[in-house]
Structure 1
Amino acid sequence: MTEPPADGAVRLYERIYSEHPAALYAELRRDHGPIVPVLLENDVFAWLVIGYRELHRVLTDPQLFPRDSRVWNKWGEIPSDWPLMPFIAYQPSMFFGEGSEHQSRYEAVERAFASVDPFELQLRCERIADTLIDDFAGRGEADLLADYAYSMPVLVLAEMLGVPGTRLESVARDLVEALDTGEGALAAHGRVVAAMHDLVSMKRESPGTDLASRIVTTHPGTAEEIAQDLLVVMVTGQEPVANWIGNTLRLMLTDDRFSLTLSGGRRSVGQALNEVLWEDGPVQNDVGRWAARDTELAGRRIRAGDMLIIGMAGANTDPHVRPGSPTGISGNQAHLAFGHGSHGCPQSTREAAEVIVRTAVEVLLDRLPDVLLSVPAEDLVWRPSFHVRGLTGLPVRFSPTLAVGGR
């Protein structure tokens, strides 16, 4: 087994790979293999797992590679304002939990989403999509991220959870701002946390048929833990789903295999959704897992407390498990875009996310059949993040249409 290299680690934060991450992962795999020594901001050491089989092993062995960040061996070296602190600092949520306690909390969310009628969810999504499109349909131009994709999932989720109508827009706005990491992100995050606590109190006093009520009445945890888990539902259902919508629309507007059939190409939407999860998954890397003890992975010596970054995007490009061309992945859903194992997205939440994304794309193409990019495809800018895969904007033009006021 080889030791962690002192000088050979790759400084991820210095690499410009947001335009073509697959090229970076191919280079890393060629030079380092499936387990890559990397440095994060402040030259903090970690292991990036980009081998599909190796990542599968990490994600299915919570005893050896737990999610609990408190075992990290670098805590004494990390400043409180470290940029990745929000992803790593332990919180009493199912995101960091392990064992039977985690499983029971996970199952409360799973059962709640499993009770959702997909046809009712689709109707809800169609109504919200129409409302959003009505706001810009008459202009003949829009930014499909700012005006549409970023608003769609959070509005759907807030309604599903039973957030009161008077607070719906403010919670949606605060969540988007909190995930934007701008100057107001911390304050916005605090407001979302407060809103989740208020929601738990409300549903405990007067439960209904909404998702939050179903989670509250079956969740084994305290009010604080339930609020934290509702926050996880909101966060994981917003940014990834918004970028899944945006990345799918980009594919359909820029790739001839899809764009040639935009005006009547519903049969292509499902293929586009799946291809995006392989090629441009909304979550590229996740921080992370930590080794519970000294171990070995793909010939690398992993020390107790070492951080492992979950490289979903890199694993999805592993030539050992998939063909080289996008056409070869049609119908293949063995990607790791939703994670895997005890901390993977519950199946019922994956299905709800797909309904939201598919409906968002289909309604937009129905309403604006001649929609086109208003800038060259090569001018679209990807966000410079190793964590998410999403555009900074998706400007389009189309023939102005009247608002429909609902479907």
Structure 2
Amino acid sequence: MSPASAPDPVRFSGPLLQDDPARVYREIRREHGSVAPVLLDGDVPAWLVLGYRELHQITGDPVLFSRDSDLWSQWENIPDDWPLLPMIGRKQPSILYTVGERHRERAGMMVHALEAVDPFELRAHAEKFADELIDGICPKGSADIIAEFAALLPVRVLARLYGFTDEESPALVTALNDMIDGRERALAGQAHLFTSMTELVASRHKEPADDVASRMLADTSGFTEEEIVQDLMVMLAAGHQPTADWIGNSLHLMLTDSRFAASLFGGRNSIAEAMNEVLWEDTPTQNVAGRWASRDTQLGGRRIRAGDMLLLGLQGANSDPQVRTDGSALTGGNSAHFSFGHGEHRCPFPAQEIAEVIARTGIEVVLDRLPDIDLATPASSLTRRPSPWLRGLSELPVTFTPTPALGGTRS
């Protein structure tokens, strides 16, 4: 049975996925089980995997459940203007769609380049850019902490680590944020990012420096400059938006949940707890496309045909009642969530560490510099971006006592 012919496939869109995804996942699981038939834009069929064990099985078997999108049986039905093509492309040269030994070599190049990032320099960069952003808003007494802080910080830090100058950073911020918004701006943003990365790689090929791009070019596995450009684009895009949403979602939790009130008055112990809870309950990357079955198989009681696409329901798996019998997952720093993926194609561990440092440092600077920060509107009026893939706030209006800018004088 294909997902399209299964009884009552679920349309994978709509306001509920934006406003209350937890309810949607519960209803889908109740009606269809851990592997559910869904319809993407244009009634394109796929399977949504919501079961924790099933997701573990998929991500742990890259041969049966491949990242090779050429396997997809639906390509003949996909129009050139299908809105999800930027996410589910064919014959893409990036690491996202490389499989087998070549993928492992490519991932190794990435890990080596990221592992060499000095943790003290990383935190210093994150604190510096966070302070600069807060300097721009602290005298006003109010701000949208998403648009004026969270959506700007990660890419500025990552751009510095990868080899861009601070002067090039603002245009990269615009490009990456455009890629998240409407189709026309997304294409322009992607074009700017490609051009910028191409110029950076060409420059570092001639004059290497102590940065991620140079270390990737120095790898001896024989990757082309085009492959390195593509991987740097993936790393920057994948590192920016989820980290921005991690900051925003964590601040939202701390501003709306009384359990974290102490952190808003000088305490830092609860920041890590809030960030961990977000990864379990409100993870920035909700769903990922995808995996493709290389042969007929069974999964979660469903007959999966060769060429079927499976969507990784990361948030659905995190909230699977089969593994969440109580609230223990949220305590003690339990990191058994799927927010960074699992298996060969998971987010590399050094990238996870970099994202955590950027997010935590950013939140600490907000709470240090704006100690009486509070919501400017009722929590019920806040809205999320209309996406089933990435979950983040459209805005987070806050108020605080106006203070002078530091101007680089933090001791």
Partner of 1:43: 43
CA distance in 1, matches of 2:378, 2:150: 20
Share of identical aligned residues, percent?
49
What's 2:320 paired with?
Answer: 318
Deviation of 1:261 after TM superposition, in Å, equals: 3.5
Q: Answer whether contact 2:263 2:269 (CA < 8 A) is retained.
A: no
For the aligned residue pairs, the C-alpha RMSD in angstroms reads 1.4
- 1:378 alignment counterpart: 380
- Decide whether aligned partners of structure 1 residues 253 and 14 sit closer, same or farther in structure 2, where only a CA change above 3 A counts: closer
Deviation by residue 1:196-243 (Cα, 9 ceiling, x = unmatched): 111111111100111111111116311111100000111101111110
Q: Deviations over 1:331-384 (max 9, x none)?
A: 211000000111100111100100000000001100000000000011110112
Contact 2:68 2:291 survives alignment (8 Å) = yes
Asked whether the 8 Å contact 1:154–1:238 carries over to 2, the reply is yes
Aligned to 1:289, what secondary structure does the other structure show? strand
Q: In 1, distance between residues paired with 2:60 and 2:329?
A: 29
TM-score, normalising length: structure 1: 0.97
Q: Secondary structure at the match of 2:93?
A: coil
**Which residue of 2 is the match for residue 397 of structure 1?**
399
Choose 323-332 or 71-80, whichever is displaced more: 323-332
Report what 1:29 is aligned to: 29
Given that residues 126 and 359 in structure 1 are in contact (C-alpha distance below 8 angstroms), is that contact kept between their aligned partners in structure 2? yes
Give 1:168's aligned amino acid. S
1:183 is displaced (CA, Å) by 2.9
Matched letter for residue 311 of structure 1: G
Structure 2 match to 1:11: 11
Q: How does 1:295-374 map to 2 (within 5 A)?
A: 295-325=297-327, 328-374=330-376
Residue 200 of structure 2 is matched in structure 1 by 199
Preserved contact between residue 104 and residue 220 of structure 1 (Cα < 8 Å): no
Secondary structure of 1:164's aligned partner:
coil
Gapped runs of 5+ residues in structure 2?
Answer: none
1:2-38 deviation digits (Å, cap 9, x = unpaired):
6643442111224622222111111111111110011
Which amino acid in 1 is paired with 2:67?
A: R
Letter matched to residue 32 of structure 2: H
8 A Cα contact 1:158 1:172, kept in partner: no
- Over residues 253-293 of structure 1, what are the superposed CA-to-partner deviations in whole Å (9 max), with x where a residue is unaligned? 10000024411220000001100000000000001000011
**Cα displacement (A) at 1:140:** 0.4
Sort the Cα spacing of 1:164 and 1:265 in 2 relative to 1 into closer, same or farther, 3 A: same
Please give the alpha-carbon distance, in whole angstroms, between the structure 2 residues aligned to 1:171 and 1:384. Answer: 23
Report the equivalent of 1:233: 235
Corresponding residue for 1:150?
151
User: Any conservation in 1 of the 2:385–2:394 contact (CA below 8 Å)?
Assistant: yes
Assess if the C-alpha contact under 8 Å between 1:37 and 1:45 holds in 2: yes
- Gap runs ≥5 in structure 1: none
Which of 264, 267, 284 aligns to 1:265? It is 267
Which one-letter code corresponds to 1:139 in the other structure?
A: K
SS at structure 2 position matched to 1:136: coil
User: For 2:28 and 2:6, how far apart are their aligned partners in 1?
Assistant: 17
- Indicate conservation of the 8 Å contact 1:149/1:242, yes or no: yes
Note the 1:204-223 alignment, pairs <5 A. 204-218=205-219, 220-223=222-225
Preserved CA contact (<8 Å) 1:253 1:259: yes
Tell me if structure 2 keeps the 8 A contact 1:157–1:234. Answer: yes
TM-score (norm 2): 0.96
